[in-house]
Amino acid sequence: MTVIGRRRLEKRHICMQQRTVTMPVKRTEVYSRPTWKHMATPCQPPTYNGQMCTRVQVVHEKAYRDIIDHKTAQQMSYDCCSGWSRENPRADACMKPVCSTRCQNGGNCTAPNTCSCPSGYTGRHCEQDVNECQTEKPCDQQCVNTQGSYFCRCRQGFVLQADQQSCKKVSTNADDAFEARDLENDIDDTDAEVVTRLQKIEKSLANERVHTNELQKSLQATYSVVDTLKSRLSTLEKQAQDVSRLQTNLYKTESRTNKLEGMLNLLLKCRNGPNANCP
């Protein structure tokens, strides 16, 4: 067979195979067959007139019979290569892959013992669920893995956005509202927002134009941002440069927040009564 002929067979997944076949061979056998026959012999004792007596006797005659023997022989044939089969009995090519184990969860057999899995599944036979919460980390806050998929949800005080992944803080004050995803996508903008909030609190303390309850709420909101930044540190470990910058900003934010807390405590003490430390 030429090289071109072999390549054509390979494209059609047809292989030349050597098989051992059993073939029947007919032959004629001669054998001795026993037969009962009537034989006429002189009677014993002999009679005066030579009378003949008849008796039955077994005789062996030559006979013939056909015998079928089975002999093995090597035969070359063309058939589907291992792992492939015909789409139908009349097909002249073997283009249908064979998977010894059925593909699960909607997977398709695309090559011998190879399954192509739908989104959300993996494994040799698509038998394993993909945990998108670990492999993709698609959600801003909380990710719940399900069989073949996942869904996102937000912590208390946040609402899930239209993209079903981002979370936005529920607040009537526009200054307090932000999307959690900004912590990853735009760290500088988030840091600037935190600094702006801290500056407003500092200015309010200096002018004493806000009530204590409002200061406590603002301070609590700032601590909430700090907590969110801390939780994002684990997510941003793979981004070394961003992690380093975030750690620096977090340190500055915590120091500033601690300073504000001290100022708030001092303000409360001064309002409750004279104190030597009061300005």
Assigned domain for 43 exists = no
Q: Tell me, what amino acid is at 175? A: D
Q: Note whether 150 and 143 are within 8 A (CB).
A: yes
The confidence band for 135, taking pLDDT boundaries of 50, 70 and 90, is confident
Q: What is the CATH number of the domain that holds 121?
A: 2.10.25.10
The answer to whether 41 and 52 are in contact (CB under 8 A) is: yes
**DSSP letter assigned to residue 173:** S
Task: Let me know whether 110 and 194 are in one domain.
Answer: no
Residue 70 included in any domain? no
Residue 84 in any domain: the answer is no
Residue 226: is its pLDDT beyond 80? no
Domain span including residue 122: 99-129
pLDDT at 193 over 80: no
Q: Same domain, yes or no, for 109 and 193?
A: no
For residue 138, being part of any structural domain is answered with no
Report how many domains make up the chain: 2
Q: For position 2, what pLDDT does the model report?
A: 73
CA count, 13 A, side-chain hemisphere, 118: 9
In a domain, 260, yes or no: yes
Q: Does one domain contain both 184 and 251? A: yes
- Residue 183 confidence (pLDDT): 47
The CB density around residue 166, as the number of other CB atoms within 10 Å, is 20
Mean pLDDT of 232-253: 71
User: Given a cut of 70, is residue 69 above it in pLDDT?
Assistant: yes
**Same domain for 257 and 193:** yes
Residue 231 within a domain: yes
pLDDT of residue 171: 67
Considering the domain architecture, whether residues 205 and 264 belong to the same structural domain is answered as: yes
Residue 208 lies in a domain: yes
Shared domain for 122 and 201, answered yes or no, is no
Chain segment 41-51, per-residue pLDDT in tens: 888 777 777 78
d(C-alpha 205, C-alpha 208), whole Å: 5
Q: Indicate the residue type of 14.
A: I
Rounded Cα gap, residues 114 and 108, in angstroms: 8
